[in-house]
Amino acid sequence: MLYDLLNKNTIQIDNKAHMDWKDAIRKAAIPLLKNNSIEDKYVDAMIDSVKENGPYINIGQGIALAHSRPENGVHKIAVSLLRTYPAVNLVNEDHKIQLWFVLAAVDNNSHLRVIQQLAELLGDQEKINHMLAAESAYELANIINLNKKER
């Protein structure tokens, strides 16, 4: 499921990432806004959640998984990815992020398979290194889809 959702249309790369964490979340969400998976209020809810709870979306070294509640404007399950260079500080310098995932879930259960597949992908440091070195959305999609073929 993750491998169907993450593709060249939902992956972006910004090699001149001079932005703050709020801008990174907004930019990471653009493909999901364009394909009508989420509404603008979902993006605002993700940002508000980090403001209220701190950098809890930092799920690994250099990796963030932004998300909010389904009732905040989710139309369908979706995932997007923004790879930034240089790293963008999430709230403070202790949380430098380069891989910004956005997850939209329509309920409390349907996205669990996506989370499991994402955990498997991000559990492979070699894959993460390749993702960080990718120079195009197409290349990033191929790296991610290699994980699908290996399963």
75 is catalytic: no
Q: Where are the beta strands (DSSP E) in 47-91?
A: 58-60, 63-66, 78-90
DSSP string, 84-105: EEEEEEESEEEEEEEEEEEEE-
Roughly what angle, to the nearest 10 degrees, separates helices 40-53 and 21-34?
A: 150
- The active-site residue out of 18, 67, 75, 111 is 67
Burial (CB count <10 Å: 0-12, 13-18, 19+), residue 126: exposed
Tell me how many degrees the CA angle 127-132-138 measures, rounded to the nearest 5. Answer: 85
Active-site positions read 67
